[in-house]
Structure 1
Amino acid sequence: MRLLRPLFALILVAALAGCGFHLRGAGGNTLPYKTMAIALPETADVRIWLERHIRGSGTEIVADPKAAEAVFQQLEDNRQKTILSVNAQGRVREYRLQLTYRFRLVNAKGDEIVAPNELSLSRDFSFDDSQVLAKDVEERLLWRDMSSDLVNQIMRRLSIVKPRDPSRETD
């Protein structure tokens, strides 16, 4: 019986390794580019988060777009806060935060290597007039969470999408 336990554990570990199981982590977002430039202002939230993730994937970020294999370009960054519902007195009860973001990748010549992608995120949160400061903090945290989620989705798309070779024309 004592010999069967280690044998059973060994068989279980071999089965897990054989089926391709691996822990989820940052290593899954490898990019097919050695160097990349980000065409966004230095202080943009999306740029700060994106730089961190791109460096973590092993791709070098360069300042000069002409020296980069790929250049990340933002096409749209639209953020809206709309009223979702009101109470009987006409006061706001809920808000919806909406984020629409479009981007593409081009090479140093400006040829498109990843077609424009659009991401849309939204979060709903309740509002109370008696807790204005707390709800303001909650709103800022939701925007930050949405920016983080946005960059994670961008990285997943960039690591999955097979880049087009602009020198080869296809019909």
Structure 2
Amino acid sequence: MHSAPSRPQHCSRWWLRAVSLATVMLLAACGFTMRGVTPLPFETLYVGIPDNTRFGADVRRAIRASSPDTKLVGTPKEAAAILQLVANDRSLREVSLNAQGRVEEYELGIIFTFRLITNKGIAILPDTTLSVYREMPYDDQVVQAKQAQMETLYESMQESLVSRLLRRLTAPEVHTAYAAAQRGDINPDNPVYDPNFAPSNERPETWQTPGSPGTGNW
């Protein structure tokens, strides 16, 4: 038969809960922002990445989670700031061959270039390129399985890009540059972009291993 917890143990646990609750309330009163919520400095944002792709959906989801007070709008003219997709490419490179000249390993890559501008085209973040690479063993005897593995790796690489993109968008320099643009303190050497710019390759080509159809999309 188990004995009931002693009164000192019960009181200790109650005291720890009370202290934890008081700490959280104190931090909230001081304006402390919990990790994972890093507000953007603008109230409205247009995301120029197709929302009918997994990557575009993940970027929007991450922005909403990090900056819930920033409204994502449907057109550039509604936005205080615009996230433009400049280029979006996948690469596939043979890394090693076996004695028969068959590929033993591929290197997969994603190269993503973006810019962040105001609704007047002033650069907050000029063209910035993020890239990620993964190596994958390959066996041409199991092409379909390797194609599926390749798509899984690309999805994992996209998740890494979303995290890195969000860190860039929420960096202190973005707050500083946006505030300067709002004040009219514009560096004359900075380019001015077209707020309605749209890239020619919004969806990167789905790379295929030899003899296999592409599957999945960004």
Q: For the superposition of Structure 1 and Structure 2, which TM-score range results when normalised by the shorter chain?
A: 0.7 to 0.9
Question: What fraction of aligned residue pairs are identical, expressed as a percent?
Answer: 32
Larger radius of gyration: 2
- Kindly provide the CA deviation profile for residues 29-78 of structure 1, in whole angstroms up to 9, marking residues without a partner as x: 43222211012333233321111111223121001211211100011212
Structure having the larger proportion of residues in strand: 1
Which residue of structure 2 lines up, in the alignment, with residue 46 of structure 1? 55
Asked if structure 2 preserves the Cα contact closer than 8 Å seen for 1:29 and 1:155, the reply is no
Which residue of structure 2 lines up, in the alignment, with residue 168 of structure 1? 185
Asked if structure 2 preserves the Cα contact closer than 8 Å seen for 1:38 and 1:71, the reply is yes
CA distance in 1, matches of 2:95, 2:40: 39
CA distance in 2, matches of 1:23, 1:86: 49
Give the partner amino acid of 2:71. Answer: E
In structure 1, list runs of 5 or more residues that go unmatched.
Answer: none
CA distance in 1, matches of 2:160, 2:63: 15
Give the partner amino acid of 1:107. Answer: T
Which residue of structure 1 lines up, in the alignment, with residue 106 of structure 2? 95
CA distance in 1, matches of 2:38, 2:147: 33
Deviation beyond 6 Å, 4+ runs, structure 1: none
Which residue of structure 2 lines up, in the alignment, with residue 110 of structure 1? 121
Which residue of structure 1 lines up, in the alignment, with residue 198 of structure 2? none
Q: TM-score, normalised by structure 2?
A: 0.65
Q: TM-score, normalised by structure 1?
A: 0.81
RMSD: 2.9
CA distance in 2, matches of 1:118, 1:78: 11
Which residue of structure 2 lines up, in the alignment, with residue 31 of structure 1? 40
Distance 1:29 1:140, change over 3 A: farther
CA distance in 2, matches of 1:133, 1:115: 40
- Kindly provide the CA deviation profile for residues 76-126 of structure 1, in whole angstroms up to 9, marking residues without a partner as x: 212111111000000100000011111111111111112222111000000
Q: Which of the pair has the greater relative contact order for Cα pairs under 8 Å at 6+ separation?
A: 2
Query: How many aligned positions are there?
Result: 167
Give the partner amino acid of 1:87. Answer: N
Moved more, 90-99 or 110-119: 110-119
Give the partner amino acid of 1:39. Answer: G
In structure 2, list runs of 5 or more residues that go unmatched.
Answer: 1-6, 28-32, 189-218
Moved more, 47-56 or 133-142: 47-56
